[in-house]
A and B are shown apart, each in its own frame.
Chain A
């Protein structure tokens, strides 16, 4: 990394394991990345790649057992979150680091009003009194562009649409001015028009609050429009890191290339068949020797099957491949 300023978040050789009936599964296998202040980093990958596990582990939300941090550090403003106690983490969650989730319906408690859920956060972390918390809550709802906020405070989650609920979640997450926002598939469950609204909201608030944002998604379109840097994960490992423009213009890793080619996009002319990545993702409890993508890779050589290619860095780009480009 050629940054002279210290990164906001620095993940170093993080490994997360889960104990299962059939043995230990390593969901995240020694990954490292940095996030600067005010930067939006996208983590992209498919099911089982470990992106959600990574996000949850930053806030130590992985239940332990069966999961545990097997190795590594999560440095946030110098402090290693991996070695924090639960009590110390509780002070950080919702306060300095916030998270928004995929399903706004299940992330909000259906039996409490929006107002009580918002004010709870404020009273807990900012130690505000009920009346002040309510005023602050109205202000937060205005910030996320919700109409008639005073009325909304007394409504229940089921009375709001999906997009509005997601915005309430964002308001809750931002109510204490966090330095880092983790967004785990925030728009996947939303309609495309609402998705656009919510992403615009997140981008605007990021600039306003100068937060770092980790955006986790499988949607490359969302990544292209919101992130400065992209991390591509496959089977628990990082296979490529690059600035967004460069990743899309010139993907280095065969998996990234395959992914970019196979996403259906609106085209000017019809094509007959979509390019695909043949085969399926390997089982993390039964990983092949060597590169995990080798079985599906058009460029795989003997070396690829024998030894795992470590992440090599060049300038602003990193790639884990013997045959990049």
Chain B
């Protein structure tokens, strides 16, 4: 074999200039991936429209006539009442628009709080797996899960007599558990990854590891869970209002459907169609959005 070639003293690494796409953070890449998904964009637009409606109602710009009663009971759709009126002569269009705001309010509050609580507790339970902390948290959500949802809501509503947020509280108390379970499973996996071990080896304290290393790597799960919870909260509100346990002194799609249940047998469908269509489109759009989001954020699918 011929003489060994010239040896250099320290090879400064020539990290070549990477093309634009490769240099972005994982979030930016996910962002771009999401915006290539046509269904994802379409669904986001639909959700965006609903959001604008909700903001408009909140700013008292649209849907202002939702409670004004008139004599025109069960009036058919016309230029004045786009979707007709209900038994009290109230404008169904404005009631449906107002319902959008209520839906978003419930959805956002419950989604944000339930996901945050579930995420934090899931991280702690997963990181301290096989200790008493994990056992306690698992026991907690096990207990809560074993109580039938509607019974629980009824009980909370009863205890919190008249509190307008009784429904929200009840929902948050029950919805956090599914997020917690999923996050806990993921954290148990992450915990064994070498970069977590590396942080321990450097001397980082356990809770700091949980919040700086582990939690950010669960954000993609939390985002998707938040969207699922949002939809779940809206759907639950509909049923609760239908059962009379929902919002008070206000209107929502659930209340409209509740009214509709007695009207339909008489051949009057205005409430039914309007509320159903509003609900259906939002739920489908949000579901598609959640799927596209999950695809975009999935770290395993991070492409070149």
Interface residues of A (CB under 8 A from B): 20-22, 25, 249, 257-258, 260-261, 273, 275-276, 278-280, 282-283, 285-286, 295, 298
Contact = CB atoms under 8 A, between A and B. Distances in A.
A273 B7 contact: yes
B16 interface: yes
Contact of A22 (B5, B13, B21): B21
Nearest to A66: B303
B303 A261 contact: no
B4 A275 contact: yes
State the main secondary structure of chain B at its contact with A: loop
B26 to A, nearest CB: 13
B5 A283 contact: no
Given A286-B16, A286-B19, A25 B304 contact: yes
B132 to A, nearest CB: 31
A283 B16 contact: yes
B1 interface: yes
Given A20-B303, A278-B11, A285-B19, 6 more contacts: A22-B304, A257-B5, A260-B1, A261-B5, A280-B13, A285-B304
Interface string B230-260: 0000000000000000000000000000000
Given A20-B303, A22-B21, A260-B1, A278 B8 contact: yes
A259 B22 CA distance: 29
B6 interface: yes
A9 to B, nearest CB: 30
Given A280-B13, A282-B16, A258 B22 contact: no
Interface in B272-304: 303-304
Interface of B: 1-2, 4-8, 11, 13-16, 18-22, 29, 32-33, 303-304
Contact of B6 (A279, A285, A286, A298): A298
Nearest to B19: A22
Given A22-B22, A22-B304, A298 B11 contact: no
Given A21-B21, A22-B22, A286-B16, A276 B304 contact: no
State the main secondary structure of chain A at its contact with B: loop
B141 to A, nearest CB: 30
Contacts of A258: 5
A40 B180 CA distance: 54
B7 A276 contact: yes
Contacts of B29: 21
A285 B303 CA distance: 14
A21 B303 CA distance: 7
Contacts of A280: 13-16
Contacts of A273: 7
A48 to B, nearest CB: 11
B25 to A, nearest CB: 15
Contacts of A285: 19, 304
Contact of B304 (A20, A257, A278, A298): A20
Contact of A261 (B4, B18, B32): B4
Contacts of A20: 303-304
Nearest to B302: A21
A283 B20 CA distance: 13
Most buried by B among A21, A261, A283: A21
Contacts of B5: 257-258, 261, 275, 298
